[in-house]
A and B are shown apart, each in its own frame.
Chain A
Amino acid sequence: MARYITSKLIYTLLSLFILITATFFLMKAIPGDPFMSEKEVPAPIRARLEAQYGLDKPLMTQYVNYLGNIVQGDLGISMKKLNQEVSHIIGQTFGVSLRLGLIAVVVSIIVGVTLGLLAALYHRKFIDSAVMVLAVIGIAVPSFVLASLLQYALGLKAELFPITGLRSPLGYVLPVVALSAGPIAYIARLTRSSMLEVLHADYIKTAKAKGLKWPAILWKHVIRNGILPVVTYVGPMTANIITGSVVVERIFGIGGIGKVFVDSITNRDYTMIMGVTLFYGIILMAARFITDIVYVFVDPRIKLTSGKEG
């Protein structure tokens, strides 16, 4: 196990290094820079700005300096949001996305698994068809359509929920629905097909034949085995949702990290682009890493490490 984790860690660090390097050089390759504006900045002022931010140095020097700073945990100061630390901005806005995202993740898992389970248990009954129709809609309707529709119908017309912002707990409802509709649909389908497969497996028949009570079979065998594909999906999904949906954040006017990321690219805010990319990279890789580990624990059929060590 330790060896497995170590090798995973090394791969993760290597991937992050490649990510940083690729982003750095690609970012410098796009035309434009942070000090570009429609009104020309006088040459002496521009030269001073470039010197102050170290942009006058050769590209390789800038790159090495940046790597050095990262190793020391310094993401630098935003070039557009003056006097604000990149890490501070990430912290502030990620907090918002994280809170919203985690609620959406929990809602997706609970609702998705429940719906999928119901559909599997009532296979080919009305509930099954109803869940599957909802699932198709959930996958097919893009989040921005759903978000706009919810905002218009329940926010503006019915006045049930705030139109923008997360100022009250109610404000969370619409964004959470918009964020979790897709994952709910996906999880429901995943759960359903996997549960169906398990329900027809021989060991369930055996368990039934042994006279085990149905709730026990359901809990110990069906759900535990049937949930596996969902576990694989939940990791990347969580990473995806908590890093902020630009579209949902934009529609509901939420100051999350998704918006920061997109703005940083438009502004050519170099330190901010690097900081957020690196941060995203870490989250995604951490999510994959955790998924791999959890998988080992949950899946009774596979013991990943046993091959070599056993």
Chain B
Amino acid sequence: MKKKSWMLLLTLVLVIGTVLAGCGSAEETATTDSGNTTEQGTTDNGTAAEPAATDANLAADQTLHLNLSAEPPTLDPAQAQDSQANTALRFMYEGLATIDADGNPAPGAAESWDVSEDGLTYTFHMREGATWSNGDPVTANDFVFAWERVLSPETVPAPVYAYQLYYINGAEDFNTGKTTDFSKVGVKAVDEKTLEVTLTNPTPYFLGLTSFYTYYPVHKASVEASDAWAADPSTMVTNGPFTLTTWTPGSELSWTKNDKYWDAANIKLTNVTASVVNSGATETASYQGGEIDYAGAPTGEIPTDQIQPLSQQLPDEFKLTDIASTYYYEFNTKAKPFDNVKIRKAFAMAIDRQSLIDNVTKAGQTPAFGFVPTSIAGLNNQSFRDTHPDSEYFKEDAAQAKQLLEEGMKEEGYTTLPPVTLLYNTSENHQKLALAIADMWKKNLGVDIQTKNEEWSVFLESRKTGNFQVARAGWSADYNDPMTYMDMFVSGGGNNNTGYADPAYDKLIDEAYKGGNDLEKRMQDMADAEKMLIQDNMVIMPVYYYTQASLTKPYLKGVTTDFSGAINFTRAYLEEH
């Protein structure tokens, strides 16, 4: 019977297909036609991967097709907070510095800069000939205007990412209303072409920050002309390699090359379109059907269950990239039984991370024993993890874990462990992992725990109010420095939900902030803090360092990804295909 209805369903599909075949053939002819025209342009270039693009093998049509899994909620750099906006804004704007293919800061809207001995004053020299898309020159005043707008308490709605500018001297006081005079904030336009920035503490990663969207300049005249300037392509005057041409809410965005951009000669794409489809399965199908040239993170998503098959079917197009995000479980150190450090350690040691990655998450992640992920930079072109490996913090060891649990229980006077609930936000992937981990805890520690899922906002509220015992968490970097992780667990920190408060830890972080000029010591302070956080106190239980999966058509070249997984298509080009 089952077989029969399946056949019938297929028949139905076929019948419908036949009925509609008339329409279908029309399109087929059309595609064949265009196929022919492009083929005429093709000489026998072959498809050998040639990294250097000669104009000869560039495709005639330089239109890049992308998908965004969510519509950017805003294209106002001051208001943006998400990775989709990041991708979109990168087409349209350029900060003082940009990040080059090797991940280092390179000149952007600023041609060059000088840094003072004490690391506190940055003098940026604006690029000669850099203009806005309407032809106005990009000046130091544009940056002063943009940054004041981000920080001003008068801005509506209040920019959430204003805190990304708190490195600038006086910025936090101005933003929180403690001072009302913007001239006290360390941003000055010395003249049209010179911008002077003074920081509170020496901040080795400040140049990288200036490539971040909250630091982008905005065009004063158009911002002042309309409150909704950033919602309409016709009122957006931008300084990047592309300008936004259309924005159909919920459906599509498109960009066209900005011929006034200073480096327009090196921009090969002429158009970019991005559909807005929030289904990973659809996006992958769309990629396989040739509708889009790039699929997967960070712009979209490849469903977890398709990662392995795709890596085998399309080995040349499929890629896994380490990104600066950590998946971990956080303990509520104020709630029983996790107020005991031995019990926390027992739980952290009793799981087999590699087996979870191989059997559950299946995306080639790296087992995590620390908090700072592998792609975060350390010193001398080495990653922080290279110089400060996480392997010494603790080891997976079921027998020792069991023993620690018993000791912990004895200390607390438990005969049986109080009931434990593991909290995670509703998602198939988190659920699979939670169940597998609960199973390992049962097997290795002999404890039965409950798992509970909550919808995202409810879950965040539970975590923020400390209404949990152990909860799933993830953290992705704001900038390429271990500090973006380590300052999270200072006493009373806004993102510290664990109840962990340790003056010794706070002191290390404070020293790392203030002593930013002694790079070696700064790194050591942060490494010591991480050791304290995990090896000594096991406030969090690291699980893995994230990877992101993506598919890139073989003819799409010149796409770069930075430490955080953020993607840059502006220098991409399409080869003949």
A residues adjacent to B (C-beta < 8 A): 30-33, 35-45, 48-49, 52-53, 80-84, 88-89, 92-93, 96, 133-134, 137, 141, 148-156, 158-166, 168-170, 173, 177, 250-256, 259-260, 263, 266, 268
20 further contact pairs, Cβ within 8 A, besides A38-B475, A134-B12, A155-B289: A30-B458, A36-B457, A37-B81, A39-B495, A49-B160, A82-B74, A83-B74, A88-B249, A96-B250, A141-B9, A149-B13, A154-B17, A161-B20, A162-B291, A163-B289, A163-B291, A170-B23, A170-B27, A251-B279, A253-B277
Compute how far the CA of A169 lies from the CA of B30 in the bound complex, rounded to whole angstroms: 14
Q: Min CB distance, A150 to chain B, in Å?
A: 7
B286 & A164 in contact (Cβ 8 Å cutoff): yes
Binds A, one of B47-55, B150-158, B262-270: B150-158
Binds A, one of B224-232, B388-396, B546-554: B224-232
Which A residues are in CB contact (< 8 Å) with B495?
A: 39-40
Question: Is B529 part of the contact surface with A, judged by Cβ < 8 Å?
Answer: no
Which B residues are in CB contact (< 8 Å) with A31?
A: 457-458, 461-462
Question: Is B162 part of the contact surface with A, judged by Cβ < 8 Å?
Answer: yes
B175 contact from A37, A39, A44, Cβ within 8 A: A44
In the A-B complex, the 4 residue pairs with the closest CB atoms: A32-B457, A255-B250, A253-B277, A255-B251
Question: Is B519 part of the contact surface with A, judged by Cβ < 8 Å?
Answer: no
Given contacts A164-B291, A250-B278, contact A152 B157 (CB under 8 A): no
Q: Which residue of B lies closest to A159 (CB)?
A: B289
B230 contact from A45, A83, A164, A254, Cβ within 8 A: A83
B277 & A164 in contact (Cβ 8 Å cutoff): yes
- Contact string, B444-466, partner A, CB cutoff 8 A, digits 1/0? 00000000000111101110100
Q: Which of A40, A82, A149, A254 has the most CB of B within 10 A?
A: A82
Which A residues are in CB contact (< 8 Å) with B464?
A: 40
B288 & A254 in contact (Cβ 8 Å cutoff): no
A44 contact from B177, B227, B251, B457, Cβ within 8 A: B177
A155 & B285 in contact (Cβ 8 Å cutoff): yes
B17 & A82 in contact (Cβ 8 Å cutoff): no
Given contacts A53-B157, A268-B457, contact A38 B231 (CB under 8 A): no
Compute how far the CA of A250 lies from the CA of B286 in the bound complex, rounded to whole angstroms: 13
Question: Is B79 part of the contact surface with A, judged by Cβ < 8 Å?
Answer: yes
A83 & B228 in contact (Cβ 8 Å cutoff): yes
Which A residues are in CB contact (< 8 Å) with B248?
A: 92, 255
Which A residues are in CB contact (< 8 Å) with B474?
A: 38
Compute how far the CA of A83 lies from the CA of B230 in the bound complex, rounded to whole angstroms: 8
Question: Is B436 part of the contact surface with A, judged by Cβ < 8 Å?
Answer: no
Compute how far the CA of A230 lies from the CA of B209 in the bound complex, rounded to whole angstroms: 63
Question: Is B315 part of the contact surface with A, judged by Cβ < 8 Å?
Answer: no
A250 contact from B279, B288, B460, Cβ within 8 A: B279
- Contact string, B463-480, partner A, CB cutoff 8 A, digits 1/0? 010000000001100100
Q: Min CB distance, B317 to chain A, in Å?
A: 16
Given contacts A154-B17, A255-B276, contact A82 B285 (CB under 8 A): no
Compute how far the CA of A42 lies from the CA of B352 in the bound complex, rounded to whole angstroms: 37
Compute how far the CA of A154 lies from the CA of B13 in the bound complex, rounded to whole angstroms: 9
A-B contact pairs, 20 of them (CB 8 A): A33-B457, A41-B160, A42-B494, A49-B158, A82-B76, A92-B249, A92-B250, A137-B9, A159-B28, A161-B27, A163-B282, A163-B285, A164-B277, A173-B23, A250-B277, A250-B282, A251-B279, A253-B282, A253-B286, A266-B455
Which B residues are in CB contact (< 8 Å) with A266?
A: 455-457
B9 & A52 in contact (Cβ 8 Å cutoff): no
Question: Is B21 part of the contact surface with A, judged by Cβ < 8 Å?
Answer: yes
A84 & B250 in contact (Cβ 8 Å cutoff): no
Which A residues are in CB contact (< 8 Å) with B71?
A: 81
Which A residues are in CB contact (< 8 Å) with B461?
A: 31-32, 36
A82 & B13 in contact (Cβ 8 Å cutoff): no
B276 contact from A52, A133, A253, Cβ within 8 A: A253
Which B residues are in CB contact (< 8 Å) with A260?
A: 250
Given contacts A38-B460, A84-B231, A170-B27, contact A256 B285 (CB under 8 A): no
Q: Min CB distance, A83 to chain B, in Å?
A: 4
Q: Min CB distance, A5 to chain B, in Å?
A: 36
B251 & A254 in contact (Cβ 8 Å cutoff): yes
Which A residues are in CB contact (< 8 Å) with B231?
A: 82-84
Compute how far the CA of A150 lies from the CA of B284 in the bound complex, rounded to whole angstroms: 15
Question: Is B419 part of the contact surface with A, judged by Cβ < 8 Å?
Answer: no
**Which residues of chain B from 262 to 309 have a CB within 8 Å of any chain A CB?**
275-279, 281-283, 285-286, 288-289, 291
Compute how far the CA of A49 lies from the CA of B282 in the bound complex, rounded to whole angstroms: 36
A52 & B160 in contact (Cβ 8 Å cutoff): no
B158 contact from A45, A154, A168, A250, Cβ within 8 A: A45
